[in-house]
Amino acid sequence: MSKQKYDIKDLSLASSGGLRIEWAEQEMPVLRKIRARFAKERPLDGVRIAACLHITTETANLVATLQAGGADVVLCASNPLSTQDDVTAAIVADMGVAVFGIKGEDNERYYQHIQAALDHEPQITMDDGADLVSTLHRERSELLQNVIGGTEETTTGVIRLRAMEADGALEYPIVAVNDADTKHLFDNRYGTGQSTLDGVIRATNVLIAGKTVVVGGYGWCSRGIAMRAEGLGGNVIVTEVEPLRALEAVMDGYRVMPMLEAARIGDIFITSTGDKSVIDAQHFEVMKDGAIVANSGHFNVEINIPALEGMSVEKKCVRPSVERYTLSDGRHISLLAEGRLVNLAAAEGHPASVMDMSFANQALCVEWMVRRGGDLEKRVYPVPQEIDRLVSRLKLDAMGIEIDTLTDEQREYLASWKSGT
């Protein structure tokens, strides 16, 4: 346990959290398999891990896996609104892990919680968005000497860490878990796609069919969102700044146009770009009365909320996770989940089946780093290919799906350059 024992909402919520953690576990066969091996081999014996993650039922299963491997884990929230309070209670009560996170905590408490996790003097950091790593480097540099390495879960975090590396500021190796194929091709696309629409629907209960849904960005997360919005009957418009991605969106069948044009015709707006002010004052200026605006990118900067506040004469919470702003000309714009990750703040985040692969990568990458000891450089590493392949194989096995293998003749053919037409 770290210095402060824990800081959570209510320990008495543990039994409901425990049941939901078990429910998620059923859908995480790859992680279960790793957990069983870890329990035998104890590859993380005594290793202190500080994990800064969205505290969900799936994260609880990752923590249990790390513990089975012998790790001494503390956990803090990676977003003020994504914490599931019953899960924090169950992790403290049933696993004896120090947890720091309360749904709805303010920024000050959020950073106090990161500091509390750092008090654990981690040897491994596990981050989602790089706030833990950034705080460790900027404010707790005396702790850097203990650190073997770290992992990063999300696109935004990897971008920040690459910027640290380019600046010569990164003081220990990090594995970019996000960049594994078995992570971003599934978690970012199918996980974000489903959970984002789930968040929008739980918050608003609006019918998607027949609505014009504007999706900001066309990275893996936005692709998932566009795909699922279309699947529900939405009329999808994509906005982009990268020509290649814009072209892909066009050929995937979506309308593509600048946000200023889309702003005039959209009913529902969902950003997932990783950049700031994707929806800004000029866009609010032309939106239809009743427009709904949400974000599924990591930080709450994609929608310029201060601009919306400045243009509004009234703000009212009309349903959980829905603030309705009244503009001076009488139009209403509804903002979901305070512009924070709508899939985690208004729903439960990605389903367990997809987090199974993301967190299998996390567990295996921690093991890889610990086994490599101190022989890695201070840079951002890709996930080793053998880990990525193993995760896809284990997932297929768990799903009972068999695939073909190359014959010797086929293998030889692929390795030769002499035979052509």
Applying CB under 6 A, the residues found at the interface with ligand ADE are 53-54, 56, 58-59, 191, 344, 349-350, 355
Q: How far is the CB of 354 from ligand ADE (least distance, A)?
A: 8
Question: Rounded to the nearest 5 degrees, what angle is found at the Cα of 376, between the Cα atoms of 128 and 383?
Answer: 45
| CB-count burial class (<10 Å; 0-12, 13-18, 19+) for 415 | exposed
Q: How far is the CB of 84 from ligand ADE (least distance, A)?
A: 9
Nearest CB to ligand ADE, comparing residues 92 and 148: 92
Cα torsion 144, 149, 151, 155 to 10°: value is 70
Q: How far is the CB of 420 from ligand ADE (least distance, A)?
A: 47
Contacts of 98 (CB under 8 A, 6+ apart): 1, 2, 4, 5, 6, 74, 75, 92, 116, 120
Q: How far is the CB of 343 from ligand ADE (least distance, A)?
A: 7
Nearest CB to ligand ADE, comparing residues 60 and 143: 60
Nearest CB to ligand ADE, comparing residues 100 and 254: 100
Nearest CB to ligand ADE, comparing residues 259 and 342: 342
**265: Cα separation from own chain's centroid:** 29
Beta bridge partners of 215: 238, 270
Q: How far is the CB of 187 from ligand ADE (least distance, A)?
A: 7
Cβ(343)–Cβ(195) under 8 Å?
yes
Nearest CB to ligand ADE, comparing residues 312 and 321: 321
Q: How far is the CB of 191 from ligand ADE (least distance, A)?
A: 6
Cβ(294)–Cβ(323) under 8 Å?
no
Nearest CB to ligand ADE, comparing residues 97 and 170: 97
Q: How far is the CB of 232 from ligand ADE (least distance, A)?
A: 20
Neighbours of 106 (CB within 10 A): 10
Nearest CB to ligand ADE, comparing residues 43 and 349: 349
Helix (H) or strand (E) run with residue 125 in it: strand 124-127
What the block records as the tokens of 108 is: 């000050």
Nearest CB to ligand ADE, comparing residues 188 and 204: 188
Distance CA 174, CA 165 (A): 10
- The half-sphere exposure of 224 on its side-chain side, counting CA atoms within 13 A, is 24
Kindly report the backbone phi and psi dihedral angles of residue 174, in degrees, each rounded to the nearest multiple of 5, phi listed first. Answer: -130, 140
Cβ(190)–Cβ(221) under 8 Å?
no
Contacts of 134 (CB under 8 A, 6+ apart): 160, 164
β-strand 322-327 against 332-336: which pairing, if any?
A: antiparallel
Q: How far is the CB of 295 from ligand ADE (least distance, A)?
A: 14
Distance CA 151, CA 170 (A): 13
Nearest CB to ligand ADE, comparing residues 124 and 311: 124
From 263, 176, 161, select the one nearest 214 (Cα to Cα).
263
Q: How far is the CB of 341 from ligand ADE (least distance, A)?
A: 8
User: What residue type is 298 in one-letter code?
Assistant: H
From 100, 103, 28, select the one nearest 64 (Cα to Cα).
28
Nearest CB to ligand ADE, comparing residues 19 and 260: 19
Give the CA diameter of the chain. Answer: 74
Q: How far is the CB of 29 from ligand ADE (least distance, A)?
A: 16
Contacts of 138 (CB under 8 A, 6+ apart): none
Nearest CB to ligand ADE, comparing residues 154 and 235: 154
**Sign (positive or negative) of CA dihedral 21, 82, 299, 251:** positive
Q: How far is the CB of 319 from ligand ADE (least distance, A)?
A: 22
Q: Which residue, judged by CB position, is nearest to ligand ADE in the bound state?
A: 349
